[in-house]
Structure formats: structure tokens, C-alpha cells
Structure 1
Amino acid sequence: MYHPRLYGEFYDMGFKYGQLLYQKANFTIPTISKKKMDFGLESYKELKIFFPEVIEEIKGFAKGIHDKPENLGAFLLSLGVFNPTGQCSVFAFKNKTSTIIGRNYDMLFDFKKFTESSLIAPKNKYAYISQSDVFIGRSDGINEKGLSIAMSFVNGTEIQTGISFHFIIRKILEDCQNTKQAVELIQKVKVSTANNFLIADKNGNLAVVESAPQKSIVRLPQKKEPFIYITNEFKSKEMQAYDRGGVEWSKSEERYNGLGNNLKPIKQIDLEKAKEILSDKCVCLNLRKEKFGTIWSVVANLNELSIERAETKPKATNYKVETRLDWWLKKRANSS
């Protein structure tokens, strides 16, 4: 897993990282089909409206790898649209004085070599720690305001040119400070695919946005349940018509039930218990035949900004403490 630290102007962040990958890894944009290119180029037009700052980062990255911004943008915005394969498990739990989150990201084991956990601190935006298996876009993260967001794929019935989850998550981490703001942003954006987004903040506000090109709804914790969780299906009756299903191979329902069975008996939770839940054999995916399973795992206390991460199949003993966000916040305070 790569661990870049990117801060400053958007263009400069992109150029720095693109140039680094070009020089150290001879990175070039993978070739994509005409269908994906056309889709990506149309979506790139949407991204210019939705998130103009990140367009500058794309321009900088493209300069660093000696390619055109449009080619890079089209590649990024077509990812996970035509062949969404990621399968994930996420939960959030509200204690009396803290909010704890846990997240397993499940993907082909071959994708381990592309994974990265980044400190991103754009000028005049919130700083955050986030994970992904692609540069620039994000799959989950926690920002300096104690806001967490993580997605899971849903096999939706439609796609449309629009904004992929990678950029929705980035914009939320950079612009939003609580769950309410994040939910409102997701419901306004023209999404390209179906996804679940689980959002939690340090004040204990928990929500899932079940989002599809046709519609989205907000799902809140059940009465007397201080937690919420997702795998790879829509659970609300209103959204099931937009869920194609077909995720039995990834044990989505088994993982969903595993999360519920672990969370329902407990009154409060800490990071050690969160790690235990994510390592449970009913939650942690390990499909050897398909060469598919959990390739990173994150737990966090949003009130303390305590973040720990396992960079392979999680066990209670293989998490490492994340220190870069604390480093950045101290660095920024000392320079002001």
C-alpha cells in the first residue's frame, strides 16, 4: 500500500503525484474501450461543474505523466461503472461519548498492489486520511472534522454519465463537516452508478444513503439501535427495484447478518471490538478460489481522530496506528 502525503494547491498535488508515479513506476493510463472512453468524456463534463477544483488536480497529474487531462478524466470516471466488482462491509456505532466506525474493503487480491492510503490536505479545504485502489479518487475516508464516509457497490439496474463514487467521497471529505451536509450533497449529485454510502460524524449522527441513478433514499438506524451497517444490497423497500442482485457469490447477505449479529448484543464499542467484528469469519471475506477478499480494513474513533488500518486481511493484531493527520494538523497550527 502506498502512503502519499499531498497538500497545497490542487494542480500541484496532482503534478507531484503524477510525476512521482511516472518517474518511479513508469506509470501510464491503461487503455480503455471506446465505450468507456465516450462514457468517461461525457462524465468529465459533469465533473467540471460538480468539482472544478479536482479538475485542476487531474490537469496536474496528467502533466506529470505526459498525457492529456481528458484521457485521464475519462479513465477515472469510467472505473467501476461497467464491471463493478468490489464487495465491502461497513458499520458505525454511536457510544455515549464517541462514534466508532469500521470498514472492510473487499476486492480482487491482485488489486493490493494498487492500493493507497493518502493524507490529502488541499488548500482552503478540510484535511483527511482516505483509502483507495486508484489515484485521485477515494473509496473511504475520515476528515479533520470527525466526519467519516465509506461506500459499497450495489449491482444497480442502470448507469448514466455523471459522477462516480470516487469523486463524491472526495468532495464530501473536503467540503463537509457533518452527516447532514454529506447526505444533502449525495442526494443532489447526478450519480453514475448504484452504491450505498455510510456516513457518520463525531456527534453520533449515522446514516446510509442508498443511491442509484433513478433515485436515492436515506436510511437511519432502527429504533433503539445505536448503529447502522451496509454490505452490497439495498435494504429499503423503495430502492430494491433498482438493485439487480447477483451478489450471492460474495456472501453479501451473510456478511450483513454477521455485522448485525455482532452489533446487536453490545451496548458500547471500542476500536478493539471493532477490529474483532471486522475479522469475524462471517464478515471478513476470503474467497481463495476467486482470489477475492478483504484487502484493507479501517477502524476509527471519530471524536479522537484515532485511526488504525490493516493493509491486508484484518486480524486484531495487524492494525497500524495512523499518524499523518495528526502530523498535518500540528504542522498547520505551527505555521499559522
Structure 2
Amino acid sequence: MSNFNVSIFQIRDSSFQIGLKTGEELRNTSILKIFESITKQEIDLHNMKSIYSAYAPHLLEELEGLAQGLGIPMNKAAALFSGYDVPKTEAMGCSTLLTKEYYVRNYDFSPALYDGIFSLVQADKTFASAGYNLQILGRHDGVNEKGLVAGLHFVSHDGYAKGVSPWASIRMVLDGCSSIDDAVAMLKEIPHSACYNFSLGDQKGNMAEVEASSEKVIVRYGGSALACVNHFQDERLTSKNRDSIEGSIQRNKHLLGLMDKRLSHHDMFHHFKSVESPIFFTDYENLFGTLHTFSYSYQHSRILTTIARSEQVLDINFLDWVNGEDILEGSLSGFIQEG
């Protein structure tokens, strides 16, 4: 069993200053070497800027701040952290259940390729948000001040193209969208690099799964509940699934079964995070171990989140945070145990 830690960043400032402060926090860490090993040395900066200018110009400001905070050129920061034109990444797993009351999700991958950061940010030109960082600028999942929740789910590399990574797309959605309709409209326009599902829920209890490839985007809406895993379910896209999706199908069946139990937000969160749960995994060596559980209750504006085998649970009234009340925690500590 090995120690596993996540840092908590709370930053309220301009987008440039958010990037600058984040970069300064990371300057003496191994994060640069990690991302240098999985990104290109250079990307087409002009193309990246034109796309980000259209959907999230503030992220260009944050990227400039990040470059300055880390003491590296902007073009290098863009290649490392923008989420544009990223080489094919390894498969990851994610299981999400949405109801009209809450959103609950597990993220499964390897701790070796994990940022280990949970950020609460409030910029001057965007919605405030809280979520787990991916490639620093992006997010695995999170919620914004309007009660819009979003998470990513890897499907395949079929039709892989130069485009925007799903984690950058999640950040764009959280920063700029206030409802399912806004998020769906944005995700239909963003040029996607690979096949991913996006799970979305909003303050009104609306829910959707956006099944996105580089060529086509399809939306599945939920009624009283919706499960989202790692394969496409719309028949127009199922040909893009990986050959082996049995595990994803089994997780989907388990999630669908949970819908009938009518568990509270608290109880569903604890089911997801429990090491005894059928959706908690320990195959970290093969990039399929549970790293964090993230959830949000719309009615209570309540985030419940934790990391693998941690006795700590972050219990945050997010609207209180948006209104200026910082949380006291600075980190989360857990353990990784291979199964």
C-alpha cells in the first residue's frame, strides 16, 4: 500500500493570476516532466489560439499566467497544458450516475498520470467552479456556480484527429455554460480529438450524456436517472466502441440497478467510494484503479468528494464558497492498494 495525496487549490483572481499562482505552486514539482513525457514538443499555436478564442478566451490568459508562473515560454506551456493536439492517451475508466437530485462519479486510472489537484477557482470573467484538474488547465469533472455538473468518459481513439481534449472541453463547459442546453450546444461545436462520453447534469435536474467523436455528436437525455460509462450506446456510434467493452457494460448494468434503490446523495456517494463496491477498482497497474469520487447535490449545493481509501471527505457548500467562504482543508490523503 502506498500513500496517495491530492492538493487543494483555492484561487479567486483574474484568469492570468489564477494561471500564475497555479504555476508558482507547481514550479518545484515533477509535473513538467510528467507532461513532457506524454505531450508533443510543439503544437500549432495559431490553430489552438483560434479555437480557444472562440470558446474560452480566458483560458489563453490563464495559460499565459501558467507559463510565467512555471518560468517557461508560452509555446511550451501550450504544448504541455492546453489540451490541444494531445497524442493518444491511454484508456481510462469512469462510472457516473445522475438523478434529478444529484450527480455521483468515480474516476479510474493510474496515479502515475494523475495531476493530484482539486481546484476551486473564481475568475473575474467566468463562472466559478470546483473540480479535479487534468493536464492542469483541464478538468476530469466538476461543478460550477450555476449548478452545472460535468465529467468525461473515455470511449476509444476511433477517428482520432487534431482537436480539443475532453478535459479541456469540460473546463470550457464549466466556465461558460449555465445549463444542459448551453453545454450540449458547446459540445456540438467544439472540434473533438477522440471518442468520449460527457455526463451532464444541471440545477433543474436535467441530465444528458453527450456521445462525441471527431465526426459526429449524439445526445442521450435522461428522465428520472441516467448512467454513463465508457462505451457509446446510440446505434449511430456503436461501431466506434473498442472491441472489449464487457467491463463497461457490466458497470452500466450495476448503475442501472442502483436507480431503483432511490438512495440519498450521501448514501450513493458512500456506495461509490467504498472499496467493497462493484464500481471501485484496484487494477492500477493496468490503468484501471479508482482515484477519486466526486458528487454534487443540486438542492443543497453540496459537494461530497474524496480520494482512494481516504478517511477524509470534503463536504463543501459550494454556493457558500462562491460567496467568499473558503474551505479549511489544504489537501486530501489516501492510499493506493493494488488488487
Smaller-chain TM-score bracket: 0.7 to 0.9
Q: CA deviation at 1:91?
A: 1.2
1:234 and 2:226 correspond: no
Return closer, same or farther for 1:27/1:83 CA change in 2, 3 Å cut-off: closer
1:176 and 1:297 map into 2 onto residues whose CA distance is 23
Query: Structure 1: which amino acid aligns with 2:265?
Result: D
* Structure 1 match to 2:289: 293
Q: CA deviation at 1:179?
A: 0.9
Return closer, same or farther for 1:18/1:35 CA change in 2, 3 Å cut-off: closer
1:327 and 2:321 correspond: yes
Query: Structure 1: which amino acid aligns with 2:176?
Result: D
Return closer, same or farther for 1:164/1:34 CA change in 2, 3 Å cut-off: closer
Q: CA deviation at 1:38?
A: 4.1
Decide which structure has greater helix share. 1
The residue correspondences of 1:1-336 to structure 2 (distance < 5 A) are 1-22=6-27, 24-25=28-29, 28=32, 30-32=35-37, 37-38=42-43, 42-43=47-48, 45-76=50-81, 77=83, 81-94=87-100, 99-111=101-113, 114-221=115-222, 226-248=224-246, 251-263=247-259, 265-267=260-262, 269-277=264-272, 279=274, 281-287=277-283, 290=286, 292-313=288-309, 319-322=313-316, 326-330=320-324
1:160 and 1:185 map into 2 onto residues whose CA distance is 18
Q: Partner of 1:183: helix, strand, or coil? A: helix
Q: CA deviation at 1:328?
A: 3.6
Return closer, same or farther for 1:40/1:237 CA change in 2, 3 Å cut-off: farther
Q: Is the 8 A contact 2:196 2:211 kept in 1?
A: yes
Of the structure 1 ranges 206-215 and 47-56, higher mean CA displacement relative to structure 2 is found in 47-56
- 1:48-103 per-residue CA deviation (whole Å, 9 max, x = no partner) reads 44322101111111011111112121223258641232211111112xxxx21101
Q: CA deviation at 1:25?
A: 2.7
Normalised by the length of structure 1, the TM-score is 0.85
Normalised by the length of structure 2, the TM-score is 0.85
1:17 and 1:247 map into 2 onto residues whose CA distance is 37
Of the structure 1 ranges 177-186 and 276-285, higher mean CA displacement relative to structure 2 is found in 276-285
Q: Partner of 1:238: helix, strand, or coil? A: coil
Return closer, same or farther for 1:281/1:266 CA change in 2, 3 Å cut-off: closer
Q: Partner of 1:295: helix, strand, or coil? A: strand
1:34 and 1:204 map into 2 onto residues whose CA distance is 37
Query: Structure 2: which amino acid aligns with 1:88?
Result: C
Gaps of 5+ in 2: 1-5, 327-339
Gaps of 5+ in 1: none
Q: Is the 8 A contact 1:298 1:309 kept in 2?
A: yes
Return closer, same or farther for 1:274/1:331 CA change in 2, 3 Å cut-off: closer
Return closer, same or farther for 1:26/1:164 CA change in 2, 3 Å cut-off: closer
1:328 and 1:252 map into 2 onto residues whose CA distance is 36
Query: Structure 1: which amino acid aligns with 2:150?
Result: I
Return closer, same or farther for 1:233/1:147 CA change in 2, 3 Å cut-off: same
Q: Partner of 1:138: helix, strand, or coil? A: strand
- 1:283-317 per-residue CA deviation (whole Å, 9 max, x = no partner) reads 22222653631100012202211111111147xx7
Q: Is the 8 A contact 1:294 1:313 kept in 2?
A: no
Query: Structure 2: which amino acid aligns with 1:31?
Result: E
Q: Is the 8 A contact 1:131 1:139 kept in 2?
A: yes
Q: Partner of 2:237: helix, strand, or coil? A: helix
Query: Structure 1: which amino acid aligns with 2:264?
Result: I
Query: Structure 1: which amino acid aligns with 2:301?
Result: L
Return closer, same or farther for 1:32/1:257 CA change in 2, 3 Å cut-off: same
1:325 and 1:20 map into 2 onto residues whose CA distance is 26
Query: Structure 2: which amino acid aligns with 1:25?
Result: T
Over the residues paired in the alignment, what is the CA RMSD in angstroms? 2.6
